[in-house]
């Protein structure tokens, strides 16, 4: 099978030739993996081939004017979200700081600079579709259509959760301006790609490790109707939707099914009601799964043998009947031993084939 056929077969609960495979990683472990496979530091394609990856994200690049002034020691994205580099024992991370819209009112948010859908390189993204035609092509990402995460990065998480509970107009306006822009960009890209893009990827972290982050009623009031617009767009082009959600999120899966979402991503097995056996038995005939290999478990703390055992156990549960794509639950972290990550992918290639 091609990667496209393999993923779409799995997401439709058919039986592919093997489990589809994905790869997500932070720069430190990514660089060490390339060295492990004898690849140069910038050889992303070589690493994808070495790992047998089936997915590729198509990203229309922003080509418009600068929207926010540069600040010393800060990285600022197109939404105005600010991060600074924070060192840790195994590398570092760009962490969220300043929160420039924390106390902003509706008028301030209405004036806040945001991109225009005209300022993205659709031609370059279309050319990338042609170059990557051997992959299953995704549009979107875990931040597409999200509300809590992106608003939390610019207003603080505490303020954002209070905003949702109090129907704060400024916060809802920020979310809607950002989502409207993404909807238009993805709609234009899907039109220009003319059947070349295979899956839409959405996201919103809905859980802590111990339970829901918000109530089901609040999800249905604010999150679901906004996500539904993305689902409807994807379905109008005949492609399935995969949604990312970290933490304990299975409490929302019945709503995902009702919305027409085909697959769920992340699936942190250590979180409440997220164990592979629980998910497969309760939702496996109605949802496909992408993830389940914890980036906080044996990949970090165990041996290559421990990792291989975790992968085998997960595949034994998830493979029957199709509906599963192999992936780390999050970006593989810089503290992951390269031998353990290599064992992940070696094991899925040896065990993840269907008869």
Q: What is the pLDDT of residue 66?
A: 96
Lookup: tokens for 80: 């105005």
* Structural contact between residues 206 and 247, judged by C-beta atoms closer than 8 angstroms: yes
The model's confidence at residue 225, banded by pLDDT at 50, 70 and 90, is very high
| pLDDT one-digit tens code per residue, 200-218 | 999 999 999 999 999 999 9
CATH number of 3-64+120-351: 3.20.20.210
Q: What is the mean pLDDT of residues 314-339?
A: 97
The model's confidence at residue 91, banded by pLDDT at 50, 70 and 90, is confident
The fraction of the chain above a pLDDT of 70, given in percent, is 100
Kindly tell me if the per-residue pLDDT of 305 is higher than 90.
yes
Q: What is the pLDDT of residue 90?
A: 86
| pLDDT one-digit tens code per residue, 242-294 | 999 999 999 999 999 999 999 999 999 999 999 999 999 999 999 999 999 99
Q: What is the pLDDT of residue 89?
A: 87
5-19, 87-101, 111-125: which range is least confident on average? 87-101
SS (HEC) of the chain: CCHHHHHHHHHCCCCCCECCECCCECHHHHHHHHHHCCCCCCCHHHHHHHHCCCEEEECCEECCCCCCCCCCCCEECCCCCEEEEEEECCEEEEEEECCCCCCCCHHHHHHCCCCCHHHEEHHHHHHHHHHCCCCEEEEECCCCCCCHHHHHHHHCHHHHHHHHHHCCHHHHHHHHHHHHHHHHHHHHHHHHHCCCCCEEEEECCCECCCCECCCHHHHHHHHHHHHHHHHHHHHHCCCCEEEEECCCCHHHHHHHHHHCCCEEEECCCCCCCCCHHHHHHHHCCCCEEEEEECCCCHHHHCCHHHHHHHHHHHHHHHCCCCCEEEEECCCECCCCCHHHHHHHHHHHHHHCECC
| pLDDT one-digit tens code per residue, 149-177 | 999 999 999 999 999 999 999 999 999 99
Mean pLDDT, all residues of the chain: 97
Lookup: tokens for 301: 């703390």
| pLDDT one-digit tens code per residue, 279-290 | 999 999 999 999
| pLDDT one-digit tens code per residue, 99-113 | 999 999 999 999 999
The model's confidence at residue 28, banded by pLDDT at 50, 70 and 90, is very high
Q: What is the pLDDT of residue 143?
A: 94
Q: What is the pLDDT of residue 200?
A: 98
Lookup: tokens for 140: 């979107």
Question: 91-97 and 120-121: which strand pairing?
Answer: unpaired
Kindly tell me if the per-residue pLDDT of 50 is higher than 90.
yes
Kindly tell me if the per-residue pLDDT of 184 is higher than 90.
yes
Q: Helix 157-166 vs helix 169-193: angle between axes, to the nearest 10 degrees?
A: 100
């Amino acid at each position: 099978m091609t990667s496209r056929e393999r993923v779409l077969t799995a997401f439709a609960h058919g039986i592919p030739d093997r489990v589809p495979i994905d790869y997500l990683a932070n720069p430190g472990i990514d660089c060490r993996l390339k060295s492990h496979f004898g690849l140069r530091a910038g050889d992303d394609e070589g690493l994808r081939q070495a790992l047998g990856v089936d997915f590729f994200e198509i990203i229309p690049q922003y080509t418009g004017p600068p929207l926010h002034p540069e600040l010393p020691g800060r990285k600022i994205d197109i939404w105005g979200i600010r991060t600074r580099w924070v060192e840790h024992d195994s590398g570092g991370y760009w962490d969220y700081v300043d929160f420039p819209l924390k106390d902003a009112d509706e008028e301030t948010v209405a004036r806040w600079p945001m991109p225009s859908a005209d300022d993205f390189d659709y031609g370059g993204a279309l050319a990338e579709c042609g170059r990557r035609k051997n992959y299953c092509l995704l549009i979107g990402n875990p931040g597409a259509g999200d509300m809590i995460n992106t608003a939390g990065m610019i207003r603080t998480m505490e303020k954002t959760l209070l905003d949702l509970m109090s129907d704060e107009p400024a916060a809802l306006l920020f979310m809607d301006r950002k989502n409207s822009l993404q909807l238009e960009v993805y709609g234009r890209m899907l039109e220009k790609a003319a059947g070349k893009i295979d899956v839409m990827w959405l996201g919103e972290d809905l859980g802590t490790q111990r339970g829901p982050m918000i109530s089901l009623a609040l999800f249905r009031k604010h999150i679901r109707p906004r996500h539904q617009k993305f689902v409807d767009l994807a379905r109008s082009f005949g492609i399935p939707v995969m949604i990312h959600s970290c933490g304990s999120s299975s409490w929302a899966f019945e709503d995902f099914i009702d919305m027409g979402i085909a697959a769920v991503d992340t699936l942190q097995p250590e979180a409440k009601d997220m164990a592979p056996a629980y998910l497969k038995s309760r939702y496996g005939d109605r949802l496909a799964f992408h993830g389940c290999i914890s980036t906080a478990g044996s990949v970090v703390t165990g041996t290559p043998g421990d990792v291989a055992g975790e992968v085998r156990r997960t595949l034994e549960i998830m493979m029957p009947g199709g509906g599963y794509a192999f992936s780390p639950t999050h970006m593989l972290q810089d503290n992951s031993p390269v031998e353990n990550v290599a064992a992940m992918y070696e094991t899925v290639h040896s065990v993840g084939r269907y008869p």
